[in-house]
């Protein structure tokens, strides 16, 4: 199964330098970045069948990942 890449480098390639700078300078942004990365890896693991999760729980995890991505994007736009 070929899954879409949802890591932040693929989601926001135009903000790569800004993401690096914010990760180094802003602890809250760094935490958001790490949280998104952790959730993204978990979603991939479940979608590939390496672990089992209910459809509802997977949907909730995807919603959480999206909410975090939205917050990251807002911070990128205003930084």
Residue 63 in domain: yes
Higher pLDDT, 4 or 72: 72
Confidence class of residue 3 from pLDDT cuts 50, 70 and 90? low
Residue 60 in tokens: 């909730």
CA nearest 40: which of 76, 10, 1? 10
DSSP H/E element including 76: helix 55-78
- Asked if residue 9 is part of any domain, the answer here is no
Query: Is residue 58 domain-resident?
Result: yes
Q: How does pLDDT run across 10-56, given as a tens digit for each residue?
A: 999 999 999 999 999 999 999 999 999 999 999 999 999 889 999 99
Residue 36 resides in a domain? yes
Residue 7 lies in a domain: no
Whether the pLDDT of residue 2 is over 60: the answer is no
Angle value at C-alpha 14, between 13 and 16, nearest 5 degrees: 65
User: Which domain, by its residues, includes 61?
Assistant: 14-78
Give the C-alpha separation, 26 to 23, whole Å: 6
Angle at the Cα of 50 from the Cα atoms of 55 and 9, rounded to 5 degrees: 85
């Amino acid at each position: 199964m070929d899954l879409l890449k949802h890591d932040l480098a693929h989601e926001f390639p135009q903000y790569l330098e800004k993401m690096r700078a914010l990760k180094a300078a802003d602890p809250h942004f760094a935490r958001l970045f790490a949280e998104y990365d952790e959730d993204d890896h978990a979603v991939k693991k479940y979608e590939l069948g390496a672990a089992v999760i209910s459809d509802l729980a997977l949907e909730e995890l995807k919603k959480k990942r999206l909410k975090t991505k939205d917050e990251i994007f807002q911070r990128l736009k205003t930084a």
